[in-house]
Amino acid sequence: MAILRSHGWVLNERPTTGPNTAGAFAEAAIAGGADLIIAAGGDGTINEVIGGMVGASVPLAVLPGGTANVLCCELGLPGSMEKVAQRLPDFAARRIALGRYTSANSDRPFALMAGVGLDAHIVEHMNPGLKRNLGKFAYWIEGFRSVLRRLPEFTVKVDGRDYRASFALVTRVRNYGGDLEIARQVRLTSPDFEVVLFSGSLAPVYLKYFAGVALNQLKGMAGVEVLRAQSVEFQDPDVSVFAQLDGEAAGAIPSRVEIVPDALTLLMPPSYG
């Protein structure tokens, strides 16, 4: 806070008290005349803040916190809040699109990604205490547990064509979980999603897929589709199939994601392209 005030900014601190509070804080701050919103926290907190800012012209800045903070990794920001706070006055305000996720029980914006199937099952069944104590390592533990089971497949409709997948990633960013790059060509400044679909209900096939991610050889690999789209639908699961948005559980499909153009002003380092 001292660093931010040294830039000449007048600040109003609003600590969150639990889930589903940050969005209302952001919305109230904008209504009260704020000309900048700064979110300090993880991707879940940032997602809530964005929910209170969609369509507004007030810019958002982010300070890294949380388990992985994919948004800060995507922007190439250091992991220190203090270092990012020092650099904020040099960042550029850029207007970007967001994603919107709709289902029978949900209608939510997201900045980063929607995952359906394997990764969302991990998020849905994550032990909160394990996540709190082990951070990102908790996701790897739950992931290895997940691949010991049979993976349900579902239908993904992209631009009128049907595909089958056990894991679908619809993303606005290259970074995934802070450690990997699954989508390689998309940017926050892109007008669409990169869609990566993995098929197969037998878990061992994901060893091949993981190698493809590590070696940047997913495109053209059997069982993998890499597409671009502005809307995607998830349909026809044989059993419960879950979704996650920006790393937070979003319930079960069927559902739909679509691009919301010109939805948010984000402060980015000038080097982000």
**For the segment 183-212, what is each residue's pLDDT rounded down to a tens digit?**
999 999 999 999 999 999 987 888 899 899
Could you please report the per-residue DSSP string of 106-162? EEEEESSEEEEEHHHHHHHT--HHHHHHHTHHHHHHHHHHHTTSPPPPEEEEETTEE
**For the segment 251-263, what is each residue's pLDDT rounded down to a tens digit?**
999 999 999 999 9
- Separation between Cα atoms, residue 109 and residue 246, nearest integer Å: 10
Distance of CA 234 to the CA centre of its chain: 17
This prediction has a pTM of 0.89
**For the segment 141-168, what is each residue's pLDDT rounded down to a tens digit?**
455 555 566 789 999 999 889 999 999 9
Average predicted confidence (pLDDT) for the chain: 90
**Domains plus CATH for the chain?**
2-97+263-268 (3.40.50.10330), 101-260 (2.60.200.40)
Residue 19's pLDDT is what?
86
* Closest among 114, 133, 119 to 209, alpha carbons compared: 119
**In this structure, are residues 93 and 60 in contact, taking their beta carbons and an 8 Å threshold?**
no
- Separation between Cα atoms, residue 54 and residue 273, nearest integer Å: 22
**In this structure, are residues 152 and 117 in contact, taking their beta carbons and an 8 Å threshold?**
yes
CA dist list (Å): 95 to 30, 36, 229, 233? 17, 14, 19, 26
Cβ-based neighbours of 5, under 8 Å, separated by 6 or more: 11
Exposure b/e, 234-249, CB count within 10 A at least 16 = b? beebeeebbbbbbbbb
Residue 180's pLDDT is what?
83
